[in-house]
A and B are shown apart, each in its own frame.
Chain A
Amino acid sequence: MSLLEVRNLTTAFQTARGEITAMEDVSFDLNPGEILGIVGESGSGKSVTALTIMGLLPRPPARIASGSIRFGGQELTTLSEGRMQKLRGPGIAMVFQEPMTSLNPVFTIGDQIVETIRAHENLSNRALTARAIEMLEKVGIPSAATRMSDFPHQLSGGQRQRVMLAIALVCRPKLLIADEPTTALDVTIQAQILDLMMDLRDEFGMAIMIITHNMGVIAETADRVMVMYAGRVVEEAPVMRLFDHPMHPYTRGLLECVPAIGQDKERLVAIPGTLPEPANRPRGCRFAPRCAHAIADCSAGLPPLETLAPQHTAACFRAIELQSA
């Protein structure tokens, strides 16, 4: 049985100009120990997906319009805030994009880790400290015991992200959601943090949902990839399959935007145009106005997400046709 089952999930926001759906009809599964990558441009709905699963969107203005989220057999969309709070930490944990601002500046990192454990478990002070030091060592902070009394401003960006991971993982979550965990870090540190996340996955056996706009991060870490565009899933496939045989023109466009070493290309191919505003999305396929292969049918109706190859789904009327061309 999968750990997380998301079915036809739609999240809408109440705004002054009416209701806007930030993400609609999103379905996917996540198995224990698996790493799922979610890619898309800013505003494609990937963060909203994560925050909806965490129950972190303020309601109102946010509203789960339809669909279900089952985590370990438990339905999350109807769970009370109190029960949800107990689940955050030991059940699902999250790491955010900005390590510089994700730590409380007035407490030592030791306090912050200890406080997180204390929220969920009743342990003696000595046991709490031991647990926090152990976790800091696991995330690769050198001389963890002395670093416990450091304040966030005394750490580098990479170290802060390690501390964030320690805080997220200290209650042994079954699912870790990482929202752009390496975007704010420089490249060498990025690789270290990604390696660390994969090591910790192997050690704790948790599932990871990694959200990014960086295809390189996906290639390095994910087992499976889900591509989102304008609030909808447009393609989902195992990572190698997606990179070798992208079926959706948008995915192909994303891959062409990535510069590759050793490839003798004069210029990168950019996708023309920009993501449509959520309030006035085009009828039919949302990518059609920017798609080089769009035909009249594309603007007529929404292309359904269809299984076009084993474990490979895409939402494009012309996927098969373009694949063989």
Chain B
Amino acid sequence: MVDVVDLSAPRQHPLRATLRRLMHHRLFLLGLFLFGIVAIVAMLAPIIAPLDPNKLAMRNKFRPPSADFVFGTDNFGRSLWSRVVWGAQLSMFIGFSVVVINAVFGTAIGAAAGYFRKLDNALMRVNDALMAFPAVLLAIAVTAVLGPSVNDVIIALGIVYTPRTARIVRSSVIVLREMEYVQAAVAAGAGHWRILRHHILPNAMAPLIVQLSFLFAYAVLTEATLSFLGVGAVPPTPTWGNIMAEGRQYMLDAPWIITIPGAALMITVLGLNLLGDGLRDVLDPRLRIQS
């Protein structure tokens, strides 16, 4: 009456196994390193960049990078180091907030549309309508209505990207809804809420996490684009986009003003993309089998 038990099988928590695979993924580690630098710099901004990023000092303007001013100064003599570091904090804050908004609303809308067939059509048509606009164009339109503060940019980016997240969650939920263990749970007397919370959403997490890591990169990039175009947070707010927009006029004489925030933006986005690729490689079982 006893089935054969395979004792050689590793008895390891799946989460720990996933972490271990991530720690062996080189590009993921590189991504984590790059993103980690930016995140740590952003968090330590008040300590490592004590100079006010908006303090004008006209006698110091256009100083190239030196021992006094690590990243040089801009056309108003402001420390570029301070501006870029505080800009990193803003970028991280905006990116993280957009990710949180997406995780909450994207999951809620996607789960509702995927699970309750009656809601599907209504929710997804609104979703499609929002997705039909190019991201930057829609973001410009929303900030035009809301206003040009950091919070408004966050709301705009939330509105722009939530439909994309909702669509990804919905497609996972539609597949999971038909799984046998979901039917088994219904047969055991579980209600809708219990089924969504215990059987569907935990299994839909992997693609969502991958999506959110890429979304962080998109949010940072789009925010910089909006600032650069002059429809994001108003100057002199030290966003990377604002710094680059101002530096553009002095590109030939003081190239550090535009290249340094540009490089910071590139490092952040590259880091996040590598991070996302790594997560996808590890979390997507189909890719794992191929490799």
Contact = CB atoms under 8 A, between A and B. Distances in A.
Interface of A: 54, 56, 85-90, 93-94, 96, 98, 101-107, 115-116, 119-120, 140, 142, 150-151, 154, 156, 158-159, 162, 164, 167-168, 171, 189, 192, 195-196
A54 B194 contact: no
B180 A140 contact: no
Given A119-B194, A140-B1, A158-B3, A56 B188 contact: no
Given A96-B183, A102-B180, A107-B198, A167 B188 contact: yes
B56 interface: no
B181 interface: yes
Given A98-B180, A106-B203, A159-B3, A85 B189 contact: yes
A151 B203 CA distance: 14
Given A101-B181, A104-B203, A154-B9, A85 B191 contact: yes
Contact of A119 (B3, B4, B5, B189): B189
A117 to B, nearest CB: 10
A104 B199 contact: yes
Interface of B: 1-6, 9, 11, 14, 179-181, 183-191, 194, 198-199, 202-203
Contacts of B198: 104, 107, 115
Contacts of A192: 1, 3
Rank and list the top 7 A-B pairs by shortest CB-CB distance, nearest first: A89-B189, A88-B189, A94-B187, A101-B180, A158-B3, A102-B180, A104-B181
A167 B5 CA distance: 20
A187 to B, nearest CB: 14
A170 B9 CA distance: 28
Contacts of A89: 188-189
Determine which residue in B180, B199, B202 has the highest number of CB atoms from chain A within 10 A of its CB, and name it: B180
B190 A119 contact: yes
A20 to B, nearest CB: 20
Given A105-B203, A156-B4, A159-B3, A119 B191 contact: yes
Contact of B181 (A54, A103, A171): A103
8 contacts: A54-B187, A85-B189, A96-B184, A98-B180, A104-B198, A119-B188, A156-B5, A192-B1
A120 B189 contact: yes
A246 to B, nearest CB: 32
Nearest to B11: A154
